[in-house]
Amino acid sequence: MDLLLNLRSDLGRQAAVEHAVREAIVEGQLGPGAPLPSTRVLATELGVARGTVVAAIDQLSAEGLLETRPGSATRVAHVPPDVTDDPPPDHPATTPMPTADFWSGDPDLTLFPRSSWSAAVRSALDAMEAGALGYGDARGTLELRVAVAEYIARTRGVVVSPERTLITAGYAQTLAVLGRMLAESGDRPVAVEDPSFWLHRDLLAAAGLDLLGVRVDRDGVRTDELPAGACAAFVTPGHHTPLGASLSPSRRAALVTWAAADDAVIVEDDYDGELRYDRRPLRAVQALDPARVVYCGTASKSLAPGLRLSWCVVPPRLLEPAIRALHTIGGPSVSVVEQLALAGLLRSGRYDRQVRRIRGEYHRRRDMLVTAVERHIPMVSVEGVDAGLKALLRLPPGSDERAVVDHLAERSVAVAPLSAFQIDGSVAPSGPAIVVNYGRPYGHLYRSALDQLVAGLAAVLAD
């Protein structure tokens, strides 16, 4: 094994070897039980006589730092404490994980199709040519871009070609790419929904963009308030987070009209467009103006966010700038094997079966949530539940969102206040509410978690 050691020039050779090995142990470069290279290898790499290394090892063994056994490698025996540092302060007790977690953005990760994914990975590896393991196309593998293009054209009505499809490592990377692309073009002001997910806003701000909030109501983003001069609008027309609204037909038309008038770009985040329950699927806004709309989708809700598999379809004029921006943030970072595995799932129809499976499960959970709230806490109304994984629970007027969230946390129930999604952190004009991700608790825990949520909320509101 290799070991990097630095010999001090102001010491004799044996003393320098002893000091270098001792320093590697004390600083953690070599941990307890770690083997050392052979004395012959160490002597060659350090440029000293083997006898010098043997003498140094013997001295360190005598000090108890190393242990030597005939026929086996010399190993680290003991790491002395660092007496020069002050003792660490007492760490506060870690906050225990909530037993009813409705806060996280994750779906139910136990629904991940392990068998299908494993088979898809094996098939991808068996069929993969050696050349596929190179750096490849910055846009992603052609196989996945073709499969994604066919899928979103069929299910979401997107006007798409594989050439204009980029594979990205989650929507966060998509935003980083698009934010960098817009900033490098010299454009700064962009419109974002208010409320919206704070992490997405942070990514755009980090790219150097100026964010202009636009209110959202029951019909989606207020297109009559879209600012003149903004170079882009980042919207969730299919299912808004966290209000759950769908952009109405008249506002869809108004949105593309605004973009055309201002020569602006629309970024459509279709993060859970497959999960609809009480309505027919809405066609992507991108189909209304493919020359100005960037369509973004992901497998985070249908499969798992940990796969980091997402895609975006860019207009022809933005393709080269988007690829340049992708390179400036480190280039594509999605495993080729995982791309080919997803392509296999899409081509085989197993991805469609997975979507139907989770749609039925989340529909059942949604119904359980609505029924439980209506039965036990009628002063609370449930909104935004015809699609997706989140529900908005409207609290009685005058309720303190933060106090409700804190009281629930004391009962080991995690939810988010609606004010956390507001750009200025204030209570929304529509009134206090909490956001509940009913897709997060694992299936076998959902009933007990739901009972805990409803009982806790009823108790808090009764106080």
* CATH classification of the domain holding 19: 1.10.10.10
In a domain, 1, yes or no: no
C-beta separation of 77 from 35 below 8 A: no
Q: How many domains does the chain have?
A: 3
User: Rounded CA gap, 297 and 299, in Å?
Assistant: 7
Is residue 307 included in any domain, yes or no? Answer: yes
List the structure tokens of 4: 């990097």
Query: 5 near 46, Cβ under 8 Å?
Result: yes
Neighbours of 229 (CB within 10 A): 11
**Final residue belonging to a domain, choices 300, 315, 348:** 348
What is the phi-psi region of residue 384: left when phi exceeds 0, alpha when psi lies from -120 to 50, beta otherwise? Answer: left
- pLDDT for position 77: 85
- CA 433, 434, 437, 442 torsion: positive or negative? negative
Q: Which residues contact 175 (CB under 8 A, 6 or more apart)?
A: 200, 203, 204, 207, 234
Q: What CATH number is given to the structural domain containing 420?
A: 3.90.1150.10
Give the DSSP per-residue string, 200-216: HHHHHHHTTPEEEEEEE
Q: List phi, psi (to 5°) of 183.
A: -65, -40
- Are 293 and 180 contained in the same domain? yes
Whether 311 and 405 share a structural domain:
no
* One domain, residues 159 and 302: yes
In a domain, 333, yes or no: yes
pLDDT value at position 281? 79
- Given CA atoms 309, 310, 316, 322 in this order, what sign does their dihedral have? negative
Q: Are residues 223 and 285 in the same domain?
A: yes
Answer yes or no: is 92 within a domain.
Answer: no
Tens-digit pLDDT string for the chain (463 aa): 677 888 888 889 999 999 999 888 888 888 888 898 888 998 898 899 999 999 999 998 888 888 888 778 898 986 655 555 555 555 555 567 889 999 978 999 999 999 999 999 999 999 999 988 888 899 999 999 999 999 999 999 999 999 999 999 999 999 999 999 999 887 689 999 999 999 999 999 999 999 999 999 999 999 999 999 999 999 999 999 999 999 999 999 999 999 999 999 999 999 988 899 987 878 999 999 999 999 999 999 999 999 999 999 999 999 999 999 998 887 767 999 999 999 999 999 999 999 999 999 999 999 999 999 999 999 999 999 999 999 999 999 999 999 999 999 999 999 999 999 999 988 888 899 999 999 999 988 999 999 999 999 999 998 7
Same domain, 299 and 381: no
Residue indicated by tokens 């680290």: 76
Question: Residue 175 maps to which CATH number?
Answer: 3.40.640.10
Residues 223 and 304 in one domain: yes
Residues 310, 389, single domain; the answer is no
Q: Is 2 domain-assigned?
A: no
My answer on whether 122 and 216 are in the same domain is yes
Residue at which a domain ends, from 348, 380, 397: 348
| Rounded-to-integer distance, Cα 424 and Cα 371, Å | 33
Domain final residue pick, 348, 366, 390: 348
Could you give the CA distance from residue 187 to residue 263 in angstroms, rounded to a whole number? 12
Strands 265-269 and 413-414: unpaired
Query: Can you say whether the dihedral through the CA atoms of 95, 101, 104, 110 is positive or negative?
Result: positive
CA distances from residue 257 to 92, 122, 226, 237, 294 in whole angstroms, order as listed: 55, 47, 11, 15, 15
Query: Is residue 7 included in any domain, yes or no?
Result: no
Measuring CA to CA, which residue among 345, 394, 429, 347 is closest to residue 244? Answer: 394
Beta bridge partners of 266: 233, 293
**For residue 144, how many other CB atoms are within 10 A of its CB?**
26
Residue 5 located in a structural domain? no
Core vs surface per residue 354-366: b (16+ CB within 10 A) or e: bbeebbebbbebb
**Which residue is associated with the tokens 């979401």?**
156
410 — phi, psi (to 5°)? Answer: -65, -25
Place of tokens 């991108």: 286
């004391």: which residue's tokens?
A: 410
Q: Are residues 338 and 215 in the same domain?
A: yes
Query: What tokens does 192 get?
Result: 């974002």
Which pairing describes strands 265-269 and 232-235: parallel, antiparallel, or unpaired?
A: parallel
Structural domain boundaries, residue 17: 13-76
Assigned domain for 186 exists: yes
Do both 357 and 342 map to the same domain? Answer: no
- d(C-alpha 305, C-alpha 107), whole Å: 8
In eight-state DSSP terms, residue 390 is: E
Do residue 372 and residue 296 come from a single domain? no
Question: Domain check: are 359 and 341 in the same one?
Answer: no
Reported pTM:
0.83
